[in-house]
Structures are given as structure tokens and as C-alpha cells.
Amino acid sequence: MQTRLTFSLGATALLALASSSAMATPLQDPYGTWTIQGENDAVSTLKGTSDQYYTSGLRINWTSGTDNLPLPFANLNHFLMGNGQQRISIGLQQLIFTPRQTQMAQPPQGDRPYAGLMLGTVNLINDTDLSRTVMGIQFGVMGPAGLGRQVQNGFHNLISDTPNKGWSHQLANQPIMQIQAGRIWRLPIVSLYGVGMDVLPAVSGAAGDYRTYADAAATFRIGQGLNSDFGNSTIGPGTDGTDAFRATRPLAWYFYGGVEGQAVGYDSSLQGSTVRANAPHVDKVWDVGEIHAGVAVMWHGVRLSYSQNWQTAQFKTQKAGLFNYGSIKLSVKF
């Protein structure tokens, strides 16, 4: 029988993040932000990879301008996160996971299960000059209704590549419901000849029937216009809601590098479907680390960023050392 840490880690994170910040709020930003983001394991700086483990992520998201939330959402935002500049974020994302051996009709025991997830996300965001706090929910489905097979093999057919053969053994359909929260602090270090440096500590967590975890991260940045946003993020675990930006100079840019550590209590994409007792599964690793490095540019209401990401093993029988993938994100203000 699977054991899971369902709400203790997430509740601890929520309690820690609920306190309000006493810092001043930034200038108003009336424009909404549309974002499209794609991630793939085929983009690698170490070696060519294709369709293994976390193989694809797609996300589209809208983030509102500041302080124009409907009154019930504004009151909830203020109650949960205190005084600050308010936004709401609504998005849709798809995540695809496959085993390492994708050309076997019966995936070998000990390899990651096939899984597709389709998730909706609603976040409330609260900004001060030096912090961003996010609280929200994720909901959707894991299993065939997540359309992982159709998207992956459909793309393979489009580019005349070999389809993956084990999707008939993917995890069964199950509903997903999660709560999530996170906070990022923006701490300036130095500014010299117009180029600044800062560090972005962050904590986050989630609890539910997809993935229950607590996360701590730190990112170091160097560039111009660092106060234009709160850094970059991947689609997966970590602080969500970082799409919104307000360029504080005609051309803002930065390079960054960061580290992240997760304490994982439960991961249904590894430990198997909760609605089928004999579902494929592997034993998760409770401590997962990541390294991120990338660049972001903001110009005339457009923000483009790219990151390369290296991740330690997520399950005990995982092979091939550090897993790495690329992430590209485009945000446009309207």
C-alpha cells in the first residue's frame, strides 16, 4: 500500500507564507501578460536525449494587470497574503512522462511509467517591491485523458520519427487536485556602472494527489533592470506565477544561475495511479536537487527567456546520471 505525505508539507509551507510583508508596493501595471512556454528533454548541453523521464512540458498562461481583481478575489488575496499589489493568473499545462526504454511494447520493470497530465492552474499573486507571494490551486487529470500519447506520437508522426510503443501501459485516469504556494524575495547586492547583481531566495510547496513536496531555492542574477521581474521558472515544481513583469528600462536583461532542493512526500506519476491497485510504479527518491542556468531579455512589452536545467534522480532505479532539459518561455503584454 502506498504511503503518502498528503498535506503536512504543503500546510507548513502555506502557514509560513501567509504572513504579510511590510514592504512598499511597486508601481501599477495595467497590462495583462500572455505566456507560452515549452520544455523538452531533447534540448541538452551534455548529450542528445529523446523521450525519457520528463520528456515534454507545454504551458499557456494569462496573468492580469495589477489591482483590478473582482472584489471577492481581491478580498481573498488580501486575507491570505496581506497588503501588496494584486494579480490573478490562469493557465493550462500538459506534462508528459515516459520510461527510458520507449521502443518496448511492455516497459521493463523499474523504469518510469508512461503518464500524461493535463492541468489547469489558478493563482493569486501579491507583490511588494522586494517580494512576490503566490497561492493557488491546480486541477485536472492524469492518464489517457491527459492526451500524452496523442501529442507525443502525433508529433513523432509529423516529423517522420518512430512512435513510442508502450503507451497502452500508461497510468490510468485519475482526477488531480492540488493546493500550492510560494514566495520569492528579491534582494539587491550591488549596482556598478549600470549593471546590477541580486539574489532571489524562494520557498514553495504543494499538497494533493499529484505531487506533495516542499521546495527551497536560491538564484543569483547579473544584468540591467533586475527589478523588472522576479526571475524565471520552469513548468514543474517550484514557485509558480512568475510570468508578470514590468520592464523598468527600455531594454532589461540578465543572466542567472540557481540551485533548488525538494523534499518529496508523494508523486503519483512515479508511485502509480491511486485508482488502479496494480498500476506500474517505481520507488520515489525523497530528496531531489536541481541546477538552473539561463538568460532573460525584456524589450517593448515582450519577455523572452531560456534556461538549461539539470536534475538529480527522482526514483531509485533511474539511470543515466543527471537528467537535463531545456525550457523556453515567451511572454507578451497586452
Question: Tens of pLDDT along 12-56?
Answer: 444 444 444 445 667 889 999 999 999 998 776 555 556 789 999
For residue 1, being part of any structural domain is answered with no
- Identify the residue with better confidence: 11 or 145: 145
- Identify the residue with better confidence: 314 or 14: 314
Indicate if the alpha-carbon torsion angle 307, 147, 10, 330 is positive or negative.
positive
**Confidence (pLDDT) at 266:** 95
Q: What average pLDDT does the segment 206-222 reach?
A: 96
**Confidence (pLDDT) at 239:** 75
User: What span, in angstroms and rounded, lies between the C-alpha atoms of 134 and 127?
Assistant: 9
Task: Report the chain's mean pLDDT, rounded to a whole number.
Answer: 88
For residue 152, being part of any structural domain is answered with yes
For residue 2, being part of any structural domain is answered with no
Residue 10: which pLDDT band, with cuts at 50, 70 and 90?
A: very low
For residue 233, being part of any structural domain is answered with yes
**Confidence (pLDDT) at 23:** 55
Could you tell me the pTM of the whole model? 0.88
For residue 284, being part of any structural domain is answered with yes
Look up residue 333 and give its amino acid: K
For residue 99, being part of any structural domain is answered with yes
Distances, alpha carbon 132 to alpha carbons 47, 153, 187, 201, 258, in Å: 36, 38, 12, 11, 18
Tell me which residue range forms the domain holding 137.
8-333
Residue 261: which pLDDT band, with cuts at 50, 70 and 90?
A: very high
Of the candidate ranges 9-23, 27-41, 123-137, 198-212, the one whose mean pLDDT is the lowest? 9-23
Residue 178: which pLDDT band, with cuts at 50, 70 and 90?
A: very high
**Confidence (pLDDT) at 203:** 96
Q: What average pLDDT does the segment 87-112 reach?
A: 92
Question: Tens of pLDDT along 279-302?
Answer: 889 999 999 999 999 999 999 999
Number of domains in the chain: 1
**Confidence (pLDDT) at 320:** 76
User: What span, in angstroms and rounded, lies between the C-alpha atoms of 178 and 275?
Assistant: 17
For residue 3, being part of any structural domain is answered with no
**Confidence (pLDDT) at 9:** 42
Q: Calculate what percentage of the chain has a pLDDT beyond 70.
A: 89
Q: What average pLDDT does the segment 51-65 reach?
A: 92
**Confidence (pLDDT) at 52:** 86
With contact defined as beta carbons under 8 Å apart, do 66 and 31 qualify?
Answer: no
- Which CATH number covers residue 100? 2.40.128.140
For residue 300, being part of any structural domain is answered with yes
**Confidence (pLDDT) at 3:** 42
